[in-house]
Chains A and B, each alone.
Chain A
Amino acid sequence: MSENMKSILSLLLFPGGLAVMAAGMVYEFIDRKLVARFQNRVGPRWFQPLADFIKLLAKEEVIPEGIHPVLFQWLPVVAMAGALTSALYVPMFGLEPAFHFTGDLVVTIYLLSILTLCTGLAGANVANRFSIIGATRTLTQLFSYEAPFLLALFGPAIAAGSWDIAVIEQYATIHPWLMFLQPVGFLVALIGLMGKLELPPFDAPEAETEIVSGALTEYSGRGYALFRLGRNVELVIGLTLVAAFYMGGVANPFLFIAKTIGLLLVVAALQSLFARLRIDQTVGLWWRSGAVLVLLQLLVLIVLKYFGVAI
Chain B
Amino acid sequence: MKIGSLIGDIIKSFFRKPATILYPVERIHAPERYRGQLFWEPEKCSGCQLCVKDCPSDAIELIVLDKVNKRFVMRYDKDKCTYCAQCVASCRFACLNMNSEQWELASLRKEPFTVYYGKDEDVSFLLAERAAIGHLHSTE
Chain A partners chain B: yes
Contact with A along B4-42 (1 / 0, CB 8 A): 101100100110101110100000000000000000000
A40 touches B6 (CB 8 A): no
B7 touches A269 (CB 8 A): yes
B13 touches A274 (CB 8 A): no
Also in contact, A40 and B18, with CB within 8 A (given A269-B10, A273-B10): yes
A274 to B13, CA, bound (A): 16
Chain B residues with CB under 8 A of A36: 18
A42 touches B20 (CB 8 A): yes
Contact with A along B84-101 (1 / 0, CB 8 A): 000000000000000000
B4 touches A40 (CB 8 A): no
Contact with B along A11-43 (1 / 0, CB 8 A): 000000000000000000000000011111111
> Does B3 interact with chain A (Cβ within 8 Å)?
yes
The chain A residue sitting closest to B15, CB to CB, is A37
A38 touches B4 (CB 8 A): no
> Does A272 interact with chain B (Cβ within 8 Å)?
yes
A40 touches B19 (CB 8 A): yes
Chain B residues with CB under 8 A of A40: 13, 16, 18-19
The chain A residue sitting closest to B20, CB to CB, is A42
Chain B residues with CB under 8 A of A269: 7, 10
A38's partner among B10, B19, B22 (CB-CB below 8 A) is B10
A37 touches B18 (CB 8 A): yes
A37's partner among B3, B7, B13 (CB-CB below 8 A) is B13
A39 to B11, CA, bound (A): 9
B10 touches A41 (CB 8 A): no
B18 touches A41 (CB 8 A): yes
A274 touches B3 (CB 8 A): yes
B10 touches A39 (CB 8 A): yes
Chain B residues with CB under 8 A of A272: 6, 10
Chain B residues with CB under 8 A of A43: 18
A40 to B11, CA, bound (A): 10
A42's partner among B6, B7, B22 (CB-CB below 8 A) is B22
Chain A residues with CB under 8 A of B19: 40-41
Chain A residues with CB under 8 A of B7: 269, 273
Chain B residues with CB under 8 A of A273: 3-4, 6-7, 10
B20 touches A38 (CB 8 A): no
A168 to chain B, nearest CB (A): 31
Known pairs A38-B10, A39-B13; list 10 more (Cβ under 8 Å): A37-B13, A40-B13, A40-B18, A41-B20, A42-B18, A42-B20, A43-B18, A273-B6, A273-B7, A274-B4
**Shortest 9 CB-CB distances between A and B: which pairs?**
A40-B13, A38-B10, A273-B4, A42-B18, A42-B20, A40-B19, A37-B14, A272-B10, A41-B18
* A residues with CB within 8 A of B: 36-43, 269, 272-274
11 A–B pairs (Cβ distance < 8 Å), ordered by A: A37-B13, A37-B18, A38-B14, A40-B18, A41-B19, A41-B20, A42-B18, A43-B18, A272-B10, A273-B6, A274-B4
